Amino acid sequence: MTEDRPRIGFIGLGIMGKPMARNLLKAGYTLVVFNRSRPALEELVRDGAQSARSAREVAERSDVVITMLPNSPDVETVILGENGVIEGAHAGMIIIDMSSIEPLVSQRIAAELAKSGVEFLDAPVSGGEPGAIQGTLAIMVGGKEAIFEKCRPIFEAMGKTIVRVGNVGAGGFAKLANQIIVALNIVALSEAFVLAKKAGLDPEKLHQAIAGGLAGSRVMDAKIPMIINRNFTPGFKIKLHDKDINNALTTAAGLQVPLPLTSLVKQILSALIADGKGELDHGAIIQFHEQLAKIEVRKDN
């Protein structure tokens, strides 16, 4: 691995992974990509990436491998499974998992890779599709400080706020905390704006009125315009937030930490998924409250 321009492999070209990989190309990195879906793979190849036929081949042709996958089992399979990254890895390689998975799974993967002299960072992100496209993601990193510093330029091509929060697994714990806060924020916004709409207020003016006060938040500024325009095109899907909340509850149970409000959010997300809304943006959480109140929070004409 050269200090300035390592060869990077990227596995997982979904809503988040594709723009993240594209930003690495823009930063001048040589990129080898692999994805189960061919259209996304072909799109990145047109942008200048090289394609690989497997996770193993990505590792064989890279100094650093980044994974951006849906959940813990996917990451374990791609990294440690048959024809996976570990089979093509070499001593000194760095694997960066930027997925949102259970921290204990990250620690287990890191321990297995260490047997082959492979370094590992868990580095989940926040900022949704807009942050991935703009290269302004918040990146929470767990792992050795020296490895983190070596990879800082890579992170800087994809994100704006980059913080090492501890050893392997710490990035995942930070992301779980982040997802709890975001979910509870959206639920609070949903209840408040449904109440206000039922009382006859213009939601757009309500947003303007309270955004500059203590109740204002980046979540409000991002989601309320989408909600009042009834735009639920996913930047981050309800089903993925449900996965993160489930991981938070599983992790909290292992640590004997009660999360009563998070448990309630889990029930709301489960109801929305059962109602066929899992593919919508998590701003559509408001539809749970709208259905109960028999009203929609939409822009007044």
How many CB atoms are located within 10 Å of the residue 58 CB?
28
pLDDT digits over 229-248, tens only? 999 999 899 999 999 999 99
Residues 36 and 132 in one domain: yes
Domain finish residue from 129, 147, 168: 168
Q: Does one domain contain both 122 and 206? A: no
Q: How many CB atoms lie within 10 A of CB 204?
A: 16
Determine the average pLDDT of the residues in 106-123.
Answer: 97
Q: Are residues 140 and 212 in the same domain?
A: no
CATH of the domain at 225: 1.10.1040.10
Please check whether residue 18 is in contact with residue 43, taking contact to mean a CB–CB distance below 8 angstroms: yes
With 90 as the cut, is the pLDDT of residue 5 above it? no
Q: Is residue 298 part of a domain?
A: no
State the pTM of this model.
0.89
Which tens digits make up the pLDDT trace of 39-79?
999 999 999 999 999 999 999 999 999 999 999 999 999 99
User: Residues 116-135: what's their mean pLDDT?
Assistant: 95
Closest CA to 65 of 139, 131, 12, 127: 12
Q: What is the domain extent for residue 267?
A: 173-293
Asked if residues 109 and 80 have their Cβ atoms less than 8 Å apart, the reply is: yes
Q: Is 272 a member of any domain?
A: yes
What proportion of the chain, given as a percentage, has pLDDT over 70? 98
Give the C-alpha separation, 265 to 128, whole Å.
Answer: 19
Q: In this structure, are 93 and 113 located in the same domain?
A: yes
Residues 6+ apart with CB under 8 A from 19: 129, 132, 133
27/155 same-domain check = yes
| Same structural domain, 22 and 149 | yes
Secondary structure class of 67 (helix, strand, coil):
strand
Domain end point (choices 168, 197, 224): 168
- Residue 13 domain flag: yes
- Angle subtended by helix axes 170-198 and 238-255, to nearest 10: 120
Q: Residue 151 half-sphere exposure, CB side, CA atoms within 13 Å?
A: 33
Write down the pLDDT at residue 2.
44
Query: What CATH number corresponds to the domain at position 45?
Result: 3.40.50.720
Residue 2 lies in a domain: no
Other C-beta atoms closer than 10 Å to the C-beta of 199 total 8
Q: Are residues 18 and 103 in the same domain?
A: yes
How does pLDDT run across 237-290, given as a tens digit for each residue?
Answer: 999 999 999 999 999 999 999 999 999 999 999 999 999 999 999 999 999 999
Q: Please, what is the average pLDDT of the chain? A: 96
State residue 76's pLDDT score. Answer: 97
User: How confident is residue 37, by pLDDT bands cut at 50, 70 and 90?
Assistant: confident
Helix residue ranges, H only, 142-285: 145-156, 170-198, 203-210, 218-228, 238-255, 260-274
Residue 281, beta-bridge partner list: 237
Q: Based on the domain organization, do 158 and 178 belong to the same domain? A: no
DSSP count for the chain of H helices, then E strands: 14, 9
**Catalytic site residue 223?**
no
Which of 133, 168, 203 marks a domain boundary?
A: 168
Count: domains in the chain: 2
Q: For the chain, give the number of residues.
A: 301
CB atoms within 10 A of CB 256: 6
Residues 17 and 153 both lie in one domain:
yes
Residue with tokens 């990254």: 85
Domain assignment of residue 301, yes or no: no
Looking at the domain assignment, is residue 80 inside a domain?
Answer: yes
Share of the chain above pLDDT 90, in %: 95
Is residue 28's pLDDT more than 60? yes
Same domain, residue pair 71 and 207 = no
Q: Are residues 65 and 214 in the same domain?
A: no
Q: What Å distances lie between residue 256 and 150, 153, 288, CA to CA?
A: 36, 37, 29
- Does an H or E element contain 34, and which? strand 31-34
Query: Which residue is associated with the tokens 């949704």?
Result: 128
Question: Rounded CA gap, 58 and 8, in Å?
Answer: 9
pLDDT number for residue 301 = 67
| Residue with tokens 């792992």, as numbered in its chain | 143
Residue 218, pLDDT > 50, answer: yes
Catalytic residue among 18, 26, 144, 175: 175
184-207 confidence digits (pLDDT tens): 999 999 999 999 999 999 999 999
Residue 53 covered by a domain: yes
pLDDT tens digits for range 134-179:
999 999 999 999 999 999 999 999 999 999 999 999 999 999 999 9
